[in-house]
Chain A
């Protein structure tokens, strides 16, 4: 089926002398080397800018968590399952932070079956509650890749063409128990343009390699918990869109909320429903306690159905309800900030202070923005690229975004 050349495995490579990375200085201390390693760890994130590549901004992602017998292993503390659930909670929060108009669903697989923990939804709270409850569940049996993928496929194939359909599998077992030929399923997934990525917790499994290669995803095996976190964070950024994904105009509504008791006469388009408490559509089928009655909220302009949180798809009329800041959160993906150039401190004896935080420059290297040539320290550089997404000095030199 596939004759692509396999990568050379690590044990086939030459003999590496990893102890040579540590070098002692004259007094015999390793301080300089340790500082260097810490500094490199801070800069480890590779800022690859995709350039002029189209990104899939609206994403429908299913996370499949393997809850089979091997998840009780204690190589990740306290056991693999607890550690995975905690990291997936963090992943869900970061995911909605970076992709506010996307949706996530969670599937678990054990005992040769797969079941949905939460449905595809745009609200992080439901997923985080479900993940917290899942910590008490038992692990057992074998996972089933076929069943979990077909369960995800049943929902994803109905998603509109402009969104990117993805599945992320966290796979810890070395075996899978499938009722039918999984290679046929891989062909179907490829036809439906569903991208499957796998994060392995034990070792590389051939069927996962084939699955990810055919569908265009990525496959990594973790080394330790911090590597696991890094690999998960890798999937938070929107992936490049496949060439076959359709582009379309999506009809959306931009809403603003009314604080309770706001006088209606100032806004012409809002009806009298606002002053009275009413039920929210989202709470009608929730099983968690508490009445769904609330005063303030968002009303769909087409059908006047009420929702407490955005973004949401109206259950009655199918319209997507968002608020403008949700779209603004994704803008930095479209205009990514270039990586700053690193240079040693000795070359910059004229500037002693970081432009952004006004602190003294005391690290051994400084970072220069290529457009405005201002100098920043290590912490400001990390903050600017991770959280701020715009150079503070460039905003000053030209007032256009």
Chain B
């Protein structure tokens, strides 16, 4: 089986949280959302150019929806370009890449201008975007029918949302079962959820020291696929903190008590589970029967 027959699919999930990017424009004006998307486009183009059979998909993860920036719903993932407005670029660039780049730029502009951020929804819906990415990978696998290696690269900007923990874990286990790697490139603050995701699925986690060099980090670390990574010198794996948080105080604990019914975690023993309201059997110390002393017959 020649290497050309293997299809490799890369799905890039970009965090476009408008609040974080807005604040970022004030903090560091030289690295804005458009620069970030330039770097992502370079990465996408490079992946498409590596092998003829490589496929690409890009999802923008917003506060209210996840939108597929590439490919368009009407296309079949780069196999047919039914768009009449696809103009040939003047500089002799490979048409697939120039059309893709124009399309991505157009879509992100539409996405950012049409969505308004309401007051209480400020967190990026990362778990939802990952779920959609998994379904999309599955449907392409059904369509092509060949052996396909796929991975997801997450470019994360804003902080974690603790409410998404369970959905996130479901997505991670689903990805592990389908042997899909999840890589993470974190721009600002460390994300415990993504560290766990990379550890469980076997991907790479990297927190970038300098945001301006995003394109270089993406190409160096995340472009090679899983077979080639064993032969390269890449950033070492991070230590992942798998301690659980107790349900009562949200502290990270090492030794805890787990309810056998609902699996909620507590740091102290309590007679009633607060989640499922089950009364527990309290282990009492066993009463030892006192032995009857034999009376010595007095002589």
Sample of 5 further A-B pairs with CB below 8 A, known A254-B244, A383-B174: A259-B239, A301-B254, A359-B143, A388-B131, A396-B65
Asked if residues A401 and B164 are in contact (CB atoms below 8 Å), the reply is: yes
Interface bits A297-327 vs B (CB < 8 Å: 1, else 0): 0000110000000000000000100011101
Asked if residues B242 and A387 are in contact (CB atoms below 8 Å), the reply is: no
A335 at the interface (CB under 8 A from B): yes
Contact of A389 among B128, B163, B170 (CB under 8 A): B170
Closest chain B CB from A295 CB (angstroms): 14
- Bound complex: CA A304 to CA B254 (Å): 14
- Assuming the contacts A249-B258, A327-B244, asked whether A401 and B135 have C-beta atoms less than 8 A apart, the reply is no
A120 at the interface (CB under 8 A from B): no
Asked if residues B239 and A246 are in contact (CB atoms below 8 Å), the reply is: no
Q: Which residue of A lies closest to B239 (CB)?
A: A262
Closest chain A CB from B186 CB (angstroms): 19
B169 at the interface (CB under 8 A from A): yes
Per DSSP, chain B at the interface is mixed
Asked if residues B265 and A384 are in contact (CB atoms below 8 Å), the reply is: no
Interface bits B158-182 vs A (CB < 8 Å: 1, else 0): 0001011111011111100110000
| Chain B interface, number of residues (Cβ within 8 angstroms) | 64
Asked if residues A256 and B258 are in contact (CB atoms below 8 Å), the reply is: no
Collect the chain B residues with CB atoms within 8 Å of residue A137's CB: none
Asked if residues B136 and A327 are in contact (CB atoms below 8 Å), the reply is: no
Contact of A380 among B139, B143, B178 (CB under 8 A): B139
Asked if residues B170 and A332 are in contact (CB atoms below 8 Å), the reply is: yes
Interface bits B135-165 vs A (CB < 8 Å: 1, else 0): 1101100110000000000000000010111
- Bound complex: CA A46 to CA B37 (Å): 44
- Bound complex: CA A90 to CA B46 (Å): 40
- Bound complex: CA A97 to CA B200 (Å): 13
Contact of B257 among A57, A251, A266, A396 (CB under 8 A): A251
- Bound complex: CA A252 to CA B127 (Å): 28
- Assuming the contacts A247-B278, A250-B257, asked whether A384 and B166 have C-beta atoms less than 8 A apart, the reply is no
Per DSSP, chain A at the interface is loop
Collect the chain B residues with CB atoms within 8 Å of residue A395's CB: 125, 127-128, 131, 164, 167
Asked if residues A256 and B241 are in contact (CB atoms below 8 Å), the reply is: yes
Closest 8 CB pairs of A and B: A356-B135, A357-B139, A392-B131, A162-B260, A324-B244, A395-B128, A401-B166, A256-B242
Q: Which residue of B lies closest to A300 (CB)?
A: B255
- Bound complex: CA A57 to CA B278 (Å): 15
- Assuming the contacts A332-B170, A388-B171, asked whether A254 and B260 have C-beta atoms less than 8 A apart, the reply is no
Asked if residues A396 and B254 are in contact (CB atoms below 8 Å), the reply is: no
Interface bits A265-304 vs B (CB < 8 Å: 1, else 0): 0100100000000000000000000000000000001100
A390 at the interface (CB under 8 A from B): yes
Contact of B135 among A254, A380, A389 (CB under 8 A): A380
Give chain B interface residues in 12-65, CB to chain A under 8 Å. 64-65
Collect the chain A residues with CB atoms within 8 Å of residue B134's CB: 383, 388
Q: Which of A54, A249, A259, A329 has the most CB of B within 10 A?
A: A249
A38 at the interface (CB under 8 A from B): no
- Bound complex: CA A16 to CA B65 (Å): 52
Asked if residues A400 and B163 are in contact (CB atoms below 8 Å), the reply is: yes
B121 at the interface (CB under 8 A from A): yes
Interface bits B92-129 vs A (CB < 8 Å: 1, else 0): 00000000000000000000000000000101010110
- Assuming the contacts A254-B244, A301-B255, A358-B68, asked whether A248 and B136 have C-beta atoms less than 8 A apart, the reply is no
- Assuming the contacts A324-B242, A392-B131, A401-B163, asked whether A254 and B261 have C-beta atoms less than 8 A apart, the reply is no
Closest chain B CB from A8 CB (angstroms): 38
- Bound complex: CA A357 to CA B77 (Å): 12
Contact of A331 among B73, B169, B270 (CB under 8 A): B169
Asked if residues A249 and B139 are in contact (CB atoms below 8 Å), the reply is: no
Asked if residues A249 and B280 are in contact (CB atoms below 8 Å), the reply is: yes
Collect the chain A residues with CB atoms within 8 Å of residue B279's CB: 247
- Bound complex: CA A258 to CA B273 (Å): 32
Closest chain B CB from A194 CB (angstroms): 17
8 contacts between A and B (CB under 8 A): A250-B260, A301-B254, A325-B200, A327-B263, A388-B170, A390-B131, A392-B128, A395-B127
- Bound complex: CA A335 to CA B276 (Å): 13
Contact of A249 among B65, B127, B266 (CB under 8 A): B266
- Bound complex: CA A252 to CA B246 (Å): 12
Asked if residues B258 and A331 are in contact (CB atoms below 8 Å), the reply is: no
Contact of A57 among B143, B166, B178, B261 (CB under 8 A): B261
Asked if residues B278 and A331 are in contact (CB atoms below 8 Å), the reply is: no
A379 at the interface (CB under 8 A from B): yes
